DNA sequence: TTAGGATGATGGATTACTTCA
DNA sequence: AGTGAAGTAATCCATCATCCT
């Protein structure tokens, strides 16, 4: 049987796939023997074995060997990046490795195994149902029933499959008494996945397959890893955003408090100095070009120079400044003391510059005295 | 021994697309 | 040819389960 597997034709191939040597799993720490004729020599290629998964992996191994006669139809991969992935058209790099390019192994049994690869249930590439305990039934169903159908499964078939899988899964659980074993990715695998996540936080099927092959993982595992990674990245970003908004809220609250206090002072000032009421009406307006608030009176126009001092056409007057970083509503007039529209407490708007409120000299002096 | 965080895995919901009547 | 229903696959999301410190 001749297999052609092209994994490099991704829309945006991973650069590091070429740069990074294939994850070597010859680390003896990961290799274990099996009871039935296992040759402790690691295979020439990669076989990651998580020692915690020995039992399950052994089951997978026998499973794979018993499933060898299954004929796979390795057709060219669909160029469609998503949807309509017919299971029988998907290449299975781990199977091709196991079944073809395994010069050291004469048969399917008694060899080193990869818990992540030999479970062929994931061969349908993302079709879920990846419970470790259901691998065998899934394999049989996927390649027996589905491929023999040669087309779409009708609803009744699918229901039958699901029922079969469910019962098989349950019976597996009962027979084996196994709880779900959890794979822990090695540091190398995690780092590799992280690298790829930096490049693409989503994967197209080819990239997924390439990564899976590179890492000796099932495509489904790569897919799940990316899903979890996306979810947890999003969660972290949400936390950061939340923290930022909280700080903004605190800042605004503080600003609001300060402006309220300042407003009270101004009001107190007005009531304690009734003569002020006789001054010409002073209107706070905003210069549209420099966005500064300035006062205008009937008699004089005030300007603010670079040093913050106010000049008028008549004389130089001290400037009463507020440290407020808020824009005072443009329609506010200080002469309208009773119905002032200084409603800064409601929605202060923060701006990156300091607004300067121009006051008449007398009021400015009083303000300086009080502050 | 236990608690809690990290993380792999699962199942349901949603969405986009294809096929078919 | 146009259209709606049904099927399929990818993804998101919430949650669970296991492992490890």
Residues in chain A: 371
Domain boundary among A200, A217, A234: A217
Please check whether residues A124 and A66 belong to one and the same domain.
yes
Please check whether residues A29 and A172 belong to one and the same domain.
yes
Strand C bases within 7 angstroms of protein beta carbons: 6-15, 17-20
> pLDDT tens digits, residue range A173-227?
333 444 556 788 888 888 899 988 988 888 888 888 888 888 888 888 999 999 9
Please check whether residues A105 and A156 belong to one and the same domain.
yes
For residue A292, the model assigns a pLDDT of: 54
Query: Do the beta carbons of residue A146 and residue A85 sit within 8 Å?
Result: no
For residue A290, the model assigns a pLDDT of: 56
- CB < 7 Å to strand B — which of 172-231 in chain A? 180, 182-185, 190, 220-221, 224-225, 227-228, 231
Please check whether residues A59 and A141 belong to one and the same domain.
yes
Query: With a 7 Å cutoff on the CB, does A232 touch strand B?
Result: yes
What residue numbers bound the domain in which A99 lies? Answer: 15-217
- CB < 7 Å to strand C — which of 132-161 in chain A? 152-155, 158
Q: What is the largest CA-CA distance in chain A?
A: 108
Please check whether residues A60 and A169 belong to one and the same domain.
yes
Q: What residue has its CA nearest to the C1' of B18?
A: A84
| Cα-to-chain-centroid distance, residue A14 | 19
- Whether A327 maps to a domain, the answer reads yes
Rounded to whole angstroms, the Cα distance separating A86 from A276 reads 85
> pLDDT tens digits, residue range A232-248?
888 888 888 888 888 99
- Low pLDDT (below 70) residues in chain A: 1-181, 274-371
- Whether A229 maps to a domain, the answer reads no
Rounded to whole angstroms, the Cα distance separating A49 from A45 reads 13
Structure tokens at A321: 């400044």
For residue A308, the model assigns a pLDDT of: 37
Please check whether residues A51 and A196 belong to one and the same domain.
yes
Please check whether residues A275 and A138 belong to one and the same domain.
no
Sheet of A310-312, strand order: A302-304, A310-312, A316-317
**Distance, Å, A124 CA → C12 C1':** 20
Scanning A105-199, the segments in alpha helix (DSSP H) are: 135-140, 147-149, 155-176, 187-199
- Whether A2 maps to a domain, the answer reads no
**Distance, Å, A180 CA → C16 C1':** 11
Please check whether residues A259 and A178 belong to one and the same domain.
no
Task: Count up the domains in chain A and report the number.
Answer: 2
For residue A279, the model assigns a pLDDT of: 54
Please check whether residues A52 and A166 belong to one and the same domain.
yes
| Nucleotide in closest CA–C1' contact with A153 | C7
**DSSP of A61-97, one letter per residue?**
HHHHHHTTT-----PPPPS-SSS---GGG---HHHHH
């Amino acid at each position: 049987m001749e297999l052609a597997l092209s994994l490099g034709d991704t829309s945006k191939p991973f650069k590091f796939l070429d740069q990074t040597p294939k994850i070597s799993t010859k680390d003896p720490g990961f290799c274990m023997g099996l009871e039935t004729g296992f040759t402790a020599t690691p295979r020439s290629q990669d076989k990651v074995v998580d020692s915690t998964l020995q039992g399950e992996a052994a089951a997978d191994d026998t499973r794979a060997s018993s499933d060898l006669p299954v004929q796979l139809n390795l057709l060219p991969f669909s160029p469609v990046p998503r949807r309509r992935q017919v299971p029988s058209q998907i290449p299975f790099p781990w199977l091709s490795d196991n079944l073809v390019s395994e010069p050291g192994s004469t048969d399917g049994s008694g060899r080193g195994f990869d818990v992540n690869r030999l479970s062929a249930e994931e061969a349908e590439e993302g079709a879920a149902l990846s419970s470790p305990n259901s691998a065998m039934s899934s394999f049989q169903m996927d390649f027996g029933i589905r491929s023999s159908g040669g087309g779409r499964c009708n609803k009744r078939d699918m229901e039958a499959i699901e029922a079969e899988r469910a019962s098989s899964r349950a019976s597996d659980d009962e027979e084996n008494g196994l709880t779900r074993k959890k794979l822990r990715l090695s540091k190398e695998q995690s780092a590799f996945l992280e690298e790829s996540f930096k490049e693409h936080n989503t994967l197209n099927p080819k990239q997924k397959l390439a990564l899976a092959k590179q890492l000796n993982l099932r495509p489904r595992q790569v897919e799940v890893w990316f899903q979890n990674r996306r979810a947890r990245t999003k969660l972290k970003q949400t936390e950061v955003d939340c923290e930022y908004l909280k700080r903004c809220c605190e800042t605004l609250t503080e600003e609001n408090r300060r402006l309220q206090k300042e407003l009270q002072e101004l009001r107190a000032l007005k009531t304690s100095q009734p003569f002020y009421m006789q001054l010409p009406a002073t209107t706070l307006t905003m210069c549209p070009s420099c966005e500064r608030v300035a006062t205008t009176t009937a008699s004089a126009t005030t300007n603010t120079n670079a040093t913050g001092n106010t000049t008028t056409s008549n004389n130089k007057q001290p400037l009463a400044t507020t440290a407020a970083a808020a824009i005072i509503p443009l329609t506010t007039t200080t002469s309208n003391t009773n119905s002032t529209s200084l409603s800064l407490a409601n929605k202060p708007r923060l701006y990156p510059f300091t607004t300067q409120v121009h006051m008449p000299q007398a009021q400015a002096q009083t303000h300086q005295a009080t502050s």
